Structure 1
Amino acid sequence: MPQDARRPRTGLLVPGILLITASVGLGIALEADTHLLELDARWARGIVATRGPVGDAIALAFDRVGGGVIGIVVVPLLIAAVLLARRHYRTLIVYLAASLASGLAVQVMKHLFARERPEHMIVISDFGSFPSGHTANAATAAALLVLFLPRAWAGVAAVAYVLLMAVCRTYVGAHWLTDTIGGVLVGAGVALLVVALADRLAPRPRENPGGERIAPPRNTP
């Protein structure tokens, strides 16, 4: 994921905070809004009715890629190795920080809302249904991919991955539909927030028209 050293991204701070706030607001609304609960129930009945060998295989694959040892250890290490090999050190630090912050935010919210998971799960899951950790991880990675690799194909791939992860989490019965929406909001929000803070705390070098890097301007009295 090559870094774009030309444009500061401190403007992502407010959108990041708003997305995280929206995720928390959704969690609060779920404790009182029966319409959202009915939506979750209808979606769960419909998605469970589509289960079959092919769907099971796809959903279980996403379950392993998005969490557990593969999702939490193997995938991040592979991404870190690629970034190190390409000497994208700043991107690596931002990626690790965003991943850790997203995981921490999800765990805090899980314990804050303590929502029960749906019935008829076909996977083993930890405590708390809201928000979806798998979907939050996917949204964090997808947002970073789009920010550091602003290409049309990257955007399409990022959106497709997040949507598939969200559907698969409801398919296996590990989450309600609104859990995945909350996961997308907090995962993407944390990614934007970390990138914005990184640019604010340690501005990236700019490039002149000839391609030569120049140091960011210093604040003078």
Structure 2
Amino acid sequence: MTAVETAGSSTRPVTVARPRWMPWTALGLLVAFVALALGVLAAPDAPWTQALDDLWRGAVGVGPDSWVPAFALAQLFQHLGQLPGAVLMMILLPLVLVLVGRWRSALFVIAVQLAGPGLLSQLTKNLVDRPRPAEDTVAGLFGPLVQVDHGSFPSGHSVSMAAIIITVLALIPASAVWTRRIWIVLGVLLAAGMVWQRTLINAHWFTDTCAGLIGGAAVAVLLWWAFLPWLRRDHDRRAWFLRKVEAAQPTR
């Protein structure tokens, strides 16, 4: 984004610097994610977080007789990390952005999805290959209540949720302070809800879901920083239909 600085009779564009906290925050999150991944990779069957994971699973995980996994809220989180969520973020939202003339923002949304839920999640799953929670009838514990693929670390649903939260935040102009604040609060609730749902149905260990949020946020913040000049241009650009309406109105 550029501003215009006047000096006598001349004008020149002034570039607004991108915040330094963004790449450093993304780097810090990425380091934390890699550290967690290496900790699991050292002992996939029983990493150093296993005691915490077992404690959480015993308190939160349920069996097939529970009605909670079928509850609408739990199903919302389930679908956000699957095909409906992918269609929303890869097709519907970019299409809407293009239709209102914000193709740069559409490219940002797609880039986050490809890099986070796509590359980061799947690559790490295959490298770490941590087993998912297994049924333990003696302890009264159950395995995943839904069909899952291999690899529990990280939670792909959590990566997707973090990507959605940061993506939407980046699309909100900085001038809309209260809108951003409200979304941040809602985003925290969505992140906590995804951790709850994935561990409720025994699809992931607790630390897998936390790692997913960290990894997804790292990728999304880094791409937010990279796309920021384009996003700022879109923030300052009114939708084409609004400009058309304004142009049709008589001047006073």
Structure 2 residue 154 is matched with structure 1 residue 154: no
Structure 2 matches for 1:137-216, cutoff 5 A?
137-149=160-172, 151-199=180-228, 205=233
Q: TM-score, with normalisation over the residues of structure 1?
A: 0.80
Among 91, 110, 128, the alignment partner of 1:96 is 110
Structure 2 residue 52 is matched with structure 1 residue 42: no
Identity %: 29
2:127 match? 112
> Whole-Å Cα distance in 1 between the matches of residues 155 and 234 of structure 2?
38
2:244 match? none
Among 110, 125, 135, the alignment partner of 2:148 is 125
AA in 2 matched with 1:38: A
Question: 1:153 offset after TM fit, Å?
Answer: 1.2
Among 4, 9, 12, the alignment partner of 2:18 is 9
Secondary structure of 2:202's counterpart equals coil
AA in 2 matched with 1:166: V
Structure 2 residue 111 is matched with structure 1 residue 82: no
Question: 1:161 offset after TM fit, Å?
Answer: 1.2
Secondary structure of 1:137's counterpart equals helix
AA in 2 matched with 1:191: A
> Whole-Å Cα distance in 2 between the matches of residues 101 and 53 of structure 1?
35
Q: Give the conservation status (yes or no) of the 8 Å contact 1:9–1:195.
A: no
Deviations 1:119-170 (A, max 9, x none): 2111111121001111011101101222332521111121111111111011
Higher relative contact order (CA 8 A, sep 6+): 1
Among 73, 76, 86, the alignment partner of 1:61 is 76
Q: Give the conservation status (yes or no) of the 8 Å contact 1:10–1:197.
A: no
> Whole-Å Cα distance in 1 between the matches of residues 102 and 231 of structure 2?
15
Question: 1:78 offset after TM fit, Å?
Answer: 2.0
Question: 1:204 offset after TM fit, Å?
Answer: 5.1
AA in 1 matched with 2:201: V
Gaps of 5+ in 2: 4-14, 135-142, 238-252
AA in 2 matched with 1:118: P
AA in 1 matched with 2:98: L
Q: TM-score, with normalisation over the residues of structure 2?
A: 0.71
Considering only aligned residues, what root-mean-square deviation do their CA atoms show, in Å?
A: 2.9
- Residues 80 and 63 of structure 1: CA distance in aligned 2, closer, same or farther (over 3 Å): same
Secondary structure of 1:28's counterpart equals helix
- Residues 85 and 175 of structure 1: CA distance in aligned 2, closer, same or farther (over 3 Å): same
